[in-house]
Structure 1
Amino acid sequence: MANVRFDPWSPEFVAQPYSAYADLRRSGPVHYYEPSNQWLVPRHADVNALLRDRRLGRSYLHVATHEEMGRTAPPDWQEPFWLLQHTSMLDVEPPVHTRLRRLVSKAFTPRMVEALRPQVRRIAQDLVDAFVEKGGGDLVSEVAEPLPVTVIAAMLGVPESDRHLLRPWSADICGMYELNPSEEAQHKAVRASREFADYLRELARARRADPGDDLISALAQVAEEGDRLTEDELIGTCVVLLNAGHEATVNVTGNGWWSLFRNPAELARLRADHSLLPTAIEELMRWDTPLQMFERWVLEDIEIHGVEIPRGSELALLFGSANRDPDAFEDPDRLDVGRADNPHISFGAGIHFCLGAPLARVELLESFGALLRTAPEMELAEEPRWKPGYVIRGLESLQVRV
């Protein structure tokens, strides 16, 4: 493929961004990118360090107004979307983040995740069995998408009759995370935010009055020293658990199998030795990560390798580039399902490290494991196309035969 420049709106770049990343890493540690008004950070060591740097934030509203940061406040009609963002752990900073994460962690525990494993295994196997029985099809829509939605819906306590609502809401809300989203995408995100929040508010009130054995009930009851999640915080938490957990797991599955089909020797190696699956999952997350970019606001003037970055700037931390950095990974462009030393940053780092990482790993291990066992000869039916989004990067579909 011809060399392409960094251009997140270009289908050619979205399909193959890694040569452009290599150019960025070679040419400097930080680059101002005018089309998105961001500073691009492409190297692993810098991305890793900046994710932990408290002079940066996912939000700046705890220290300044939009105007004080030289930014324009979003229009009033976007309020339903921003209310969800500003009440979830993903987009707040200490001390609010510390309090939210502590309370949510009391309900969303490693023990709870591990207890879900048999259920996740059953769901994954049922989906794969049905997929194999019909001779294959679109792996993304028929296996990758239903698995995390079903798991998270069951975990939250969403009734089965309502679960079809979750995937469209999640996809529409995540459209707002792309660079310079279209007016249509913004309106879809706002509408989905309003509908999802209204739905969860009603469900949370019902569970607060009559608790069940589910995460919404646990979040509604959790308390520490008299402190509880507010209703808005509970709703924001549920939305981020669905969106962050669901979109990433879907795209690791689709991107991961496409990566294996493009590297048949590594696929054969994995098929011959299923004990490689845990390292293979980590390697697939590194080699073609579903979250290519994660932004941070500069809360006070900083300097990166001699480049001064003023307060109010936005850093674009390039996860996809960091995960292919030769200074952090031996032979980084080679897919190696047995790679033991793998400090990928696909789950982030620092205080915003993905709370759902253990659940994502369980889902991916069970999904890939079921396909390896039940469809050992699965093969690509046609070359897939990438969705237009760059920040959250995944396939439109993945047609396979079994």
Structure 2
Amino acid sequence: MFVADDPSFIADPYPEFARLRTLGQVHWHEGLGQFIAVSHAAASAVLRHRSLGRLWTDATPAERFASFNMLHRNSLLENEPPAHTRLRRLVSSAFARGHVERLRPAVERLAGTMVGTLAERIAADGEADLLDDLAQPLPIAVITELLGVPGDDGPTLVAWSNAIVKMYEYGLSDGTRRAAEQAAEEFAEYLRALADQRRRRPGDDLLSHLAGSELTGDEVVATAVLLLMAGHEATVNVLGNGVHALLTHRHEWERLVAGAKDPAVVASAAEELIRYDAPLHLFERTATADVQIAGHRIAEGQKVAALLGAAARDPEVFDRPDTLDIGRSPNPHLGFGGGIHYCLGAPLARVEITAALAALARELPGLRPARAPRR
């Protein structure tokens, strides 16, 4: 069984996922202390089964992680109905497909400007960093504008977010855990002060809407933190992993360049990049009652994780699953999750990803990797 923090596994987990799928759809992973679902059918069942929920357990010792635990206890991601239903209802309209489509022209202009800057840096220096100059600043600029958070604070928010999400990894040092709590405390204080300003002087932004709603103060802060964190991470990872995949599969990059003016081609490419190299791999659930997944009993209280990268390469669902094909159809990947916790920001992420891909293919058709990337 794989070791979660093994560098060789992190570099390319897909051969191990393939081996596990041949042995069964669900396995017990001693190191993770939970079951893992590696087939598309089993992973989909984990995401959708109503007796498998997101049940938050405070990080311990609780007194050391007060802010980190507060952000998660009050997050819609870590709650089940009825709390989840209430929290999601209050923010879902901002991410509805129709509203997001109205943002598309602005996102496309922003992506074009950032790709122009990327091109200038390549011309001047011979190379530039895709993550620093496009993949990260684009979704941060969009989500901060949507929430009404000052754009100049974006780098600080990213630093806090990166420190907090380290807590979701395995084999953590005590220093990493302390840094996560400090970031959570500073992030919460920042947004609490901003929400207080919006209550006194509301604007036409999502944070004003949240601050003036029925949410408690902690729920406003936790929801805003979640949207700021989740509102950029998937897009960053899809663009980083995806552009690398395209540039190392030159035929597919050239297909994208040739079809960059066709929204259907770019949209199909985005879906395939989400499938091909999963932006987020492990989605965990806890059984609230005994559950059967692919013939395996998950007892009440036990944890099970859907491994989305493994599900995305399942040959029972995808023809030639290890082949990058930007025209793939159908493409029923699980990259945005499933069930009631399906990614709220999926429509916005798709707009950001397609805008960035189209701008890159249009403005930098000769783009090539400067060197081997570090995972």
TM-score range, shorter chain: over 0.9
**Amino acid in the other structure paired with 2:173:** S
After superposition, residues 44-123 of structure 1 pair within 5 angstroms as 44-59=40-55, 74-123=61-110
Q: Shift of residue 107 of structure 1?
A: 4.1
Is the Cα contact below 8 Å between 1:319 and 1:345 reproduced in 2? Answer: yes
Q: Shift of residue 109 of structure 1?
A: 3.5
Q: Shift of residue 284 of structure 1?
A: 0.3
User: Is 1:243 equivalent to 2:229 in the alignment?
Assistant: yes
Q: Tell me the equivalent position of 1:301.
A: 290
d(CA) in 1 for partners of 2:215 and 2:44? 30
User: Is 1:190 equivalent to 2:181 in the alignment?
Assistant: yes
- Secondary structure in 1 aligned to 2:31? helix
Is the Cα contact below 8 Å between 2:28 and 2:36 reproduced in 1? Answer: yes
Of 243, 249, 257, which aligns to 1:271?
257
Q: Tell me the equivalent position of 2:196.
A: 205
**Is 184-193 or 14-23 further displaced after alignment?**
184-193
d(CA) in 2 for partners of 1:141 and 1:161? 15
TM-score by length of 2: 0.94
Q: Tell me the equivalent position of 1:20.
A: 16
**Amino acid in the other structure paired with 1:27:** L
Unmatched runs of 5 consecutive residues or more in structure 1: 67-71, 223-227, 387-402
d(CA) in 2 for partners of 1:306 and 1:45? 12
Q: Tell me the equivalent position of 1:43.
A: 39
Is the Cα contact below 8 Å between 1:261 and 1:379 reproduced in 2? Answer: yes
d(CA) in 2 for partners of 1:98 and 1:146? 31
**Amino acid in the other structure paired with 1:368:** L
User: Is 1:128 equivalent to 2:115 in the alignment?
Assistant: yes
Q: For the structure 1 residues 73 and 312, does the alpha-carbon distance in structure 2 shift closer, same or farther, using more than 3 Å as the test? A: farther
Q: Tell me the equivalent position of 1:149.
A: 140
User: Is 1:160 equivalent to 2:146 in the alignment?
Assistant: no
Q: Tell me the equivalent position of 1:371.
A: 360
Q: For the structure 1 residues 353 and 305, does the alpha-carbon distance in structure 2 shift closer, same or farther, using more than 3 Å as the test? A: closer
Q: Tell me the equivalent position of 1:400.
A: none
Q: Shift of residue 74 of structure 1?
A: 4.6
Q: Shift of residue 96 of structure 1?
A: 0.3
Q: Shift of residue 164 of structure 1?
A: 2.4
**Is 147-156 or 317-326 further displaced after alignment?**
147-156
Is the Cα contact below 8 Å between 2:46 and 2:293 reproduced in 1? Answer: no
Unmatched runs of 5 consecutive residues or more in structure 2: none
Show CA shifts across 1:139-158 (max 9, x none). 11111111111111111111
Show CA shifts across 1:83-108 (max 9, x none). 10111111100110011111112444
Is the Cα contact below 8 Å between 1:60 and 1:299 reproduced in 2? Answer: no
d(CA) in 2 for partners of 1:33 and 1:119? 45
Show CA shifts across 1:359-386 (max 9, x none). 1001111111111111111111111110
Show CA shifts across 1:273-313 (max 9, x none). 12211000000000001101111112222233443322221
d(CA) in 1 for partners of 2:208 and 2:331? 37
Q: Tell me the equivalent position of 1:8.
A: 4
d(CA) in 1 for partners of 2:56 and 2:142? 33
Show CA shifts across 1:224-251 (max 9, x none). xxxx111211111111111112111111
Is the Cα contact below 8 Å between 2:46 and 2:305 reproduced in 1? Answer: no
- Secondary structure in 1 aligned to 2:306? strand
d(CA) in 1 for partners of 2:154 and 2:25? 44
Of 272, 277, 296, which aligns to 1:283?
272
Higher helix share: 2
User: Is 1:341 equivalent to 2:330 in the alignment?
Assistant: yes
**Amino acid in the other structure paired with 2:3:** D
d(CA) in 1 for partners of 2:363 and 2:91? 36
Is the Cα contact below 8 Å between 1:60 and 1:297 reproduced in 2? Answer: no
Give the alignment's Cα RMSD to 1 decimal: 1.6
- Secondary structure in 2 aligned to 1:325? coil
**Amino acid in the other structure paired with 2:12:** Q
TM-score by length of 1: 0.88
Q: Shift of residue 259 of structure 1?
A: 0.6
Q: Tell me the equivalent position of 1:138.
A: 129
Equivalent residues, number: 368
